[in-house]
Amino acid sequence: MITQKINKSEIYLLSGPAEIKVNSGLVSVIGAEFNEGKRFNVPTGKRVPIEILLDGKLEINFGDTGRIEVLEKRTIPELWDELAEKIFKEKRRKILILGEVDTGKSFFTTYISNKLIKNKVTVGILDCDVGQSDVGPPGTLGLAICDKEFLFLSSQPADEIFFIGSLSPGLHLTSFITGIDKLTTYAVTKTDFLIIDTTGWVQGDGGRQVKQSKIDIIQPDLIILLQRNKELEHLVRTVHPDNIFRLPVSKKASNTSQGDRKALRELVSINYFKNSKSYSISLDKIKTERSYFKSGYELSLNNEKVEYAERLSAWEGILAFVTELLTPDELADLKKEHNVFNIRQFKTGTEKYLTVALLDKNRRALGLGNIEKFDFKDKAIILHSPISADNFKKVEIIQFGSNRTNFSGKEMGFISPGSL
């Protein structure tokens, strides 16, 4: 433990892991203020600037790689403060933040949120980065409603989640856009300001399409562009200039490698699923969404490889769960027998680790689960989920996605969209 004397106007950079107690004085950390007696933690891998607002002393307990260094000047531009004031004074309620990957969108969101919360308002943060979620588990959109200052977005519990079932919106565009609409509509009734933190997907057909749709749906009162040059200008050509605010990307914004991204994502996932319990849910009681499974009528197929089958709507034909894939001859016989053109085959066992959302009767997501198996003999789905037994009793709908995650939160690949 060290005691650090601090003087007004000094700036420090603190690298975690470290536990800090303010013995005396007043400090500001990413816009959140801490006075005498207050404590905060900086975890491993995180760095925060500490701005001294009043003289005093800090008590710091460092972990193995933790350290503190003096900075010559403030790293957060004055422009950010002016912007926070503008948002508050002009009541710009819906703020959309755009930027490529690694432009510091989450840090900026945290800072602006804290500055707004200081005015005793409620701030909603809608985290749309399904591949690098801070709010809610990976593969979901997360909404946090905040009325107290905070240091890290990832420490904010999700008040609502919307399941996408993929780490990229790419092949799940309709769910993605629907989720943004639903959570935005909900958030504006519960918060004074809503900040929408987005993915870094801003180029190419998909990136342009998604960002345009976001602007159309959210109708933001202000769009903040965090850009290095002019890489986002194509997205706002038709937006009124008064509704755009341009900020340069901080030189402190660091590049995160593919491997680090996965590791960070898995940390969130492991943390989310760490207290998972095994549950069984009756196939007769459960309803499904975003799947062919349980959307048709159970059917008996005369082939020993078929464990379970359903007749789907019209030309969709038959969905068959098979122990091994049917041969072309077997398929032809079954198609003829049941007068269909199409038989979808799903190999049983492939559902293992498939991540699903568990919804109540009002279609609100209670949490996520990872499937262990479809047990057609006992007509049940066995899955693992961190939600409480009481909440599990409320589950009436299972929403399917494409990601696989094992029971301790590790990524296990995907199933092909549309295969189930």
Query: What distance in Å separates the CA atoms of residue 407 and residue 275, rounded to the nearest whole number?
Result: 10
At 9, the amino acid letter reads S
Interactions with another protein, residue window 351-370 (CB under 8 A):
352-353
Smallest distance, another protein to C-beta of residue 173, A: 6
238 binds another protein (CB under 8 A): no
Detail the DSSP E strand segments found in 167-293.
193-197, 222-227, 244-248, 277-282, 287-289
Q: How many CB atoms lie within 10 A of CB 307?
A: 16
415 binds another protein (CB under 8 A): yes
209 binds another protein (CB under 8 A): yes
404 binds another protein (CB under 8 A): yes
CA-nearest of 154, 153, 172 to 162 is 172
Helix (H) or strand (E) holding 88: helix 78-89
168 binds another protein (CB under 8 A): yes
Smallest distance, another protein to C-beta of residue 177, A: 11
Query: What distance in Å separates the CA atoms of residue 210 and residue 338, rounded to the nearest whole number?
Result: 41
416 binds another protein (CB under 8 A): yes
Query: What distance in Å separates the CA atoms of residue 203 and residue 207, rounded to the nearest whole number?
Result: 5
Nearer residue to another protein within complex by CB, 130 or 146: 130
411 binds another protein (CB under 8 A): yes
Q: How many CB atoms lie within 10 A of CB 321?
A: 23
Nearer residue to another protein within complex by CB, 49 or 417: 417
277 binds another protein (CB under 8 A): no
Query: What distance in Å separates the CA atoms of residue 259 and residue 92, rounded to the nearest whole number?
Result: 37
3-state secondary structure (DSSP) of residue 304? coil
Smallest distance, another protein to C-beta of residue 90, A: 33
Smallest distance, another protein to C-beta of residue 209, A: 4
- Tell me which of 119, 350, 382, 391 binds another protein, using CB under 8 A: 350
267 binds another protein (CB under 8 A): no
262 binds another protein (CB under 8 A): yes
| Maximum distance among all Cα pairs of the chain, rounded to whole angstroms | 85
Nearer residue to another protein within complex by CB, 93 or 208: 208
417 binds another protein (CB under 8 A): yes
Smallest distance, another protein to C-beta of residue 416, A: 4
Q: How distant, in Å, are the alpha carbons of 55, 152, 312 from that of 109?
A: 28, 10, 46
Q: What are the residues binding another protein (CB under 8 A)?
A: 166-168, 170-171, 173, 205-206, 208-209, 258-259, 261-262, 349-350, 352-353, 402, 404, 406, 411-417
